[in-house]
Amino acid sequence: MRRCLVILLLLLCAGGAYANDQFSYSGYLQSEVSLRINHANGDLTKFKNIFQIAGQYKIIGDELVFFSKARYWYDAAYDLRDKMDIAQHYQGHVQRTDWLRDCYLDYTNNPWFLRLGKQQVVWGQSDGIAVLDRVNPVDLSEYWLPDMEYIRIPLWMANINYSPKLDSNLQILIIPDFEQSTSAAIGAPFTTYSYIRYDNWKKTVGGVDENLYFPGKNFENSTFGVQWSDRFADMNYTFNYLNGFYYSARNATIHLSGPYFGPFSYWKVNRSFKRYSLYGASFNKSVTNPGPLQGFTFRGDFAYYNDEPMYYGNPVTASSAGIKRWNNIMWVLGADRYVFTKWLISGQYGQYILQHSKPNDPRPQYNYILNPYTYGAMDPVENIFSLKISTYFLNDRLRPEVLWSFTDDNQGRISPKATYEIKDNIWLTVGVHYFYGHLLDSNGQYRDQDQAYMNLKFTF
Amino acid sequence: MKKALFLLLGMLLIAGPACALELEYFKVYKPADGMSADEIMQIENFVKYTKCARDAQFEGKAYFIDKSGAVRERETTRVRITLGRKSDDIAYKDLVMFTAPTQVKGLATLTWTYMDPKRQQDSWLWVPSLRKIRKISAANGDDSFMGSDFTVEDILTRRYEDETYTLLGSENFKGYACEFDKKTYFQGAPCFVIEAKPKRSPWYYSKRVLWVEKNTGGGIYEEMYDPTGRMFKTIFKDYQIYKVDGKDYAAQVLLEGKDLRTGHRTVIINTKITFDKGLSEAAFTERALSESRW
């Protein structure tokens, strides 16, 4: 009902758009089809139709503006494919909390800018690697394949900005809302291998009592963030601090009675969210002065995660022995440059450096930090690379690009795509996602899920 | 003999820059008979980038028309603040926002242009699909501007210092028959005809022949020649005078660029133009870009 009211409000705003320029709106209808190309017959993995409408109403000129965006989708692949039936309820049409993508009030009166309501806040400079981009939880039901705007789950928050001088800004975030990061349900194409292994374990041991404990709804449990941004010597930089609950719940598994595998076995799995802190910084700089580096843009993110909850256990049996609160570091450096006319090359290199200590489990085979996606073993230092090449043809009508992201474990993803503007309001995108690597690596877990896809978008 | 030659060369080097005018920001200049090609082109450059005005806003439409006549449209709002500030070398700052169609709505580029002609621009892009600001490398001068038939250099980055100039003469312009609105522009308008050759070599063009209108100082028509000497592009710009506080500001109202190799055309029409509205420089910052809603 509430959803209908918001959509009705947006449509009313849309109607008013013709009356004066206080109202404006836009939207689209998009059809997304993807096929698993490893499968001999081309297995349909997505047939998703998305409707989105956004509207803004200027209450007092540009000083006070209300903005809202709603999105509804239905994925018919879960109806059409028997083997995906099990995921139907969670993946096929349930919108959870993401149907209302934005709903906020903007107040602008320089040097103040306030954005109050449901929104996304993005920190950091890196593309596709969430070093500082951790203000909002994420929906990984299609892994990290969609645009980040789709992946982030918006939260209700107060976003308060004050600019004491030109090009500087102090941002304070108060986020009383909480949503957990989500991933694909069992039976979906991009279910994480760790979830599959956990589900298999549940079936093996029989009775499992699962409990999920959310943070209590009080002000003390809010997430708080501060960002200072400024410019020094032609370089833009930020300092960031975030303190809040980690958006992925971590399991604590307890065996209560009976033999491990047997009719009297009783297991309890408590999932809870742990509070952690992020201390970070970012920068960007284009070399504008003449010299060998002229034309390069450099950017970087650095983050220190204090008390980041990590699984440890046995990667061979996929057994999590518990959680460690570690202090980890992640950084990414990127460089972009147009190398030839209209060819842009963008590269990134980063590291995820885990705290240099052992989990100290008395059983040696359990002394591994586990990759949360797969329950495979994580390296103490993960080296991460990405390379993107993009260009355009036919007066910007055809835009091909290829993204290759990989780590030093010989695993990664190659995603070429091309977007073609059929008309002003009709756009076609075709592409492929090719995964490779070991089954226990983040991208390698989907090595049998290579996708060819086509998106057709009608905008209004 | 050698000494005399060096002395003569030295005098010429000193005399060269002396030909250039010392143009002050926020003043209105027009070319006049008797001026050198360098002086005329300095004024043309000054007029092109509206350095006479403290700020300017252009709301307009761009039409991309292919050989078959199929048309694609973009709507943009472009805002500029002129600073001419020596302390941080900033000449002016531009903000270009796409307002239609929906697929590109919200896409916005913030560009800072420096007074030092050797410096590239600083650019930031607001990417709606990422909901974030992305610092971007300066595009090459010969890249297409927003997919149009104009290059980045044609619209944004070509400086007076990038070319050498020869005055070919003075004549009444034959008139430009605009294919888009079927009107004939500037028929009989007194113009200087100037040949401009890029200092950079090899480059995508070998020369431009430019008609600079005497009344506005605007380069109203140009023919571009490729390195083999063949004309490959024409650009027409309709300049009109706007009266602002008693001053005559020349502004580009209509631009038509034709690629003679592909038959593709781009037309940009600025439907609403305002000057000196007292825009704040705070509107040309990363924070302002991040306030985007679309």
Interchain CB distance below 8 Å, B148 and A28 = no
Residue B10: pLDDT band with limits 50, 70, 90: very low
pLDDT tens digits for range B135-184: 988 888 888 888 899 998 898 889 999 999 999 999 999 999 999 999 99
Residues A452/A428, Cβ–Cβ less than 8 Å? no
pLDDT tens digits for range A174-193: 999 999 998 898 889 999 99
A316 in a structural domain: no
Give the range of the structural domain holding residue A7, as residue numbers without chain letter.
1-102
Collapsed DSSP state (helix, strand, coil) of residue A430: strand
Using a CB-CB cut-off of 8 Å, the residues of chain B touching A340 are 140
A215 in a structural domain: no
For residue B87, give how far its alpha carbon lies from the nearest alpha carbon of chain A (Å).
12
B265 has a pLDDT exceeding 80: yes
Interchain CB distance below 8 Å, B135 and A284 = yes
Collapsed DSSP state (helix, strand, coil) of residue B79: strand
For residue B202, give how far its alpha carbon lies from the nearest alpha carbon of chain A (Å).
13
In angstroms, the CA A316 to CA A460 distance is: 52
Interchain CB distance below 8 Å, A286 and B129 = no
When CB atoms are compared, the residue of B103, B114, B287 closest to A169 is B287
For residue B279, give how far its alpha carbon lies from the nearest alpha carbon of chain A (Å).
12
Residue B94: its pLDDT value, please?
94
pLDDT tens digits for range A264-290: 667 888 888 999 999 999 999 999 999
A150 in a structural domain: no
- Buried/exposed A307-328: b ≥16 CB within 10 Å, e otherwise: ebbbbbbbbeebbbbebbbbbb
Residue A259: pLDDT band with limits 50, 70, 90: low
Interchain CB distance below 8 Å, A395 and B264 = yes
A129 in a structural domain: no
Collapsed DSSP state (helix, strand, coil) of residue B157: helix
Residue A84: its pLDDT value, please?
76
A2 has a pLDDT exceeding 60: no
Interchain CB distance below 8 Å, A161 and B137 = no
pLDDT tens digits for range B242-251: 999 999 999 9
Token duo for residue B198: 């890029």
Residue A19: its pLDDT value, please?
46
A42 in a structural domain: yes
pLDDT tens digits for range A423-450: 999 999 999 999 999 999 999 999 999 9
- Which residue reads 């000083």 in tokens? A63
Residue A79: its pLDDT value, please?
85
pLDDT tens digits for range B209-231: 999 999 999 999 999 999 999 99
Q: How many CA atoms lie within 13 A of A234 on its CB side?
A: 19
Token duo for residue B210: 């430019």
Residue bearing the bigger pLDDT, A288 or A5: A288
When CB atoms are compared, the residue of A110, A397, A460 closest to B280 is A110
Top residue of B140, B142, B156 to mutate, by most chain A CBs within 10 Å, is B140
DSSP A92: I
A39 in a structural domain: yes
Top residue of A103, A107, A343, A424 to mutate, by most chain B CBs within 10 Å, is A424
Ranking A206-210, A324-328, B85-89, B256-260 by mean pLDDT, the lowest is A206-210
Residue A94's φ and ψ, nearest 5 degrees, are -70, 120
When CB atoms are compared, the residue of A111, A122, A336 closest to B137 is A336
Closest CA to A377 of A359, A400, A403, A399: A359
Top residue of B75, B109, B130 to mutate, by most chain A CBs within 10 Å, is B130
Residue bearing the bigger pLDDT, A337 or A256: A337
Interchain CB distance below 8 Å, A424 and B73 = yes
When CB atoms are compared, the residue of B101, B128, B142 closest to A459 is B101
Q: How far is CA B102 from CA A112, A152, B54, B61, B128, in A?
A: 29, 21, 31, 14, 11
pLDDT tens digits for range A331-344: 999 999 988 778 89
When CB atoms are compared, the residue of A102, A285, A288 closest to B121 is A288
When CB atoms are compared, the residue of B134, B136, B281 closest to A166 is B281
Collapsed DSSP state (helix, strand, coil) of residue A30: strand
Residue B61: pLDDT band with limits 50, 70, 90: very high
Interchain CB distance below 8 Å, B103 and A457 = yes
For residue B166, give how far its alpha carbon lies from the nearest alpha carbon of chain A (Å).
27
Angle (CA) B58 B269 B144, round 5°? 90
Pairing assessment for the beta strands A208-213 and A266-272 based on DSSP bridges: parallel
Closest CA to A251 of A214, A211, A307: A211
Q: Is the bond preceding A364 in cis, omega lying within 30 degrees of 0?
A: no
Query: Could you tell me which residues come within 8 angstroms of residue A304 by beta carbon, excluding any fewer than 6 positions away?
Result: A278, A279, A280, A327, A328, A329
Please give the single-letter amino acid code of residue B214: K
Interchain CB distance below 8 Å, B285 and A166 = yes
User: Quick one: which H or E segment has residue B38?
Assistant: helix B37-48
Residue bearing the bigger pLDDT, A12 or A319: A319
Average pLDDT over residues A248-261: 68
Residue A16: its pLDDT value, please?
46
- Which residue reads 């879960």 in tokens? A78
DSSP A153: P
For residue B219, give how far its alpha carbon lies from the nearest alpha carbon of chain A (Å).
24
Interchain CB distance below 8 Å, A336 and B102 = no
Interchain CB distance below 8 Å, B130 and A148 = yes
Strand arrangement, sheet containing A250-257: A208-213, A266-272, A250-257
A14 in a structural domain: yes
**Radius of gyration of chain B from its Cα atoms, rounded to whole angstroms:** 20
Residue B218: its pLDDT value, please?
96
pLDDT tens digits for range B84-118: 999 999 999 999 999 999 999 999 999 999 999 88
Residue B157: its pLDDT value, please?
87
Residue B78: pLDDT band with limits 50, 70, 90: very high
Domain count, chain A: 1
B26 has a pLDDT exceeding 90: yes
pLDDT tens digits for range A51-105: 999 999 999 999 999 999 999 999 988 888 777 777 777 777 665 557 899 999 9
Question: How many CB contacts within 8 angstroms connect chain A with chain B?
Answer: 140
Residue bearing the bigger pLDDT, A250 or B274: B274
For residue B135, give how far its alpha carbon lies from the nearest alpha carbon of chain A (Å).
7
Interchain CB distance below 8 Å, B101 and A342 = no
Top residue of A123, A148, A297, A395 to mutate, by most chain B CBs within 10 Å, is A395
Interchain CB distance below 8 Å, B294 and A229 = no
Mean model confidence pLDDT for chain A? 89
Residue B288: its pLDDT value, please?
93
N-term to C-term CA, chain A: 25
Token duo for residue A451: 């996708």
Collapsed DSSP state (helix, strand, coil) of residue A95: coil
pLDDT tens digits for range A86-97: 777 777 766 555
The pTM of this model reads 0.89
Closest CA to A405 of A352, A443, A446: A443
Collapsed DSSP state (helix, strand, coil) of residue A380: coil
Interchain CB distance below 8 Å, B282 and A166 = yes
User: What is the per-residue DSSP string for A199-221?
Assistant: HHHHHHH--EEEEEEPPPSSGGG
The predicted complex's ipTM stands at: 0.88
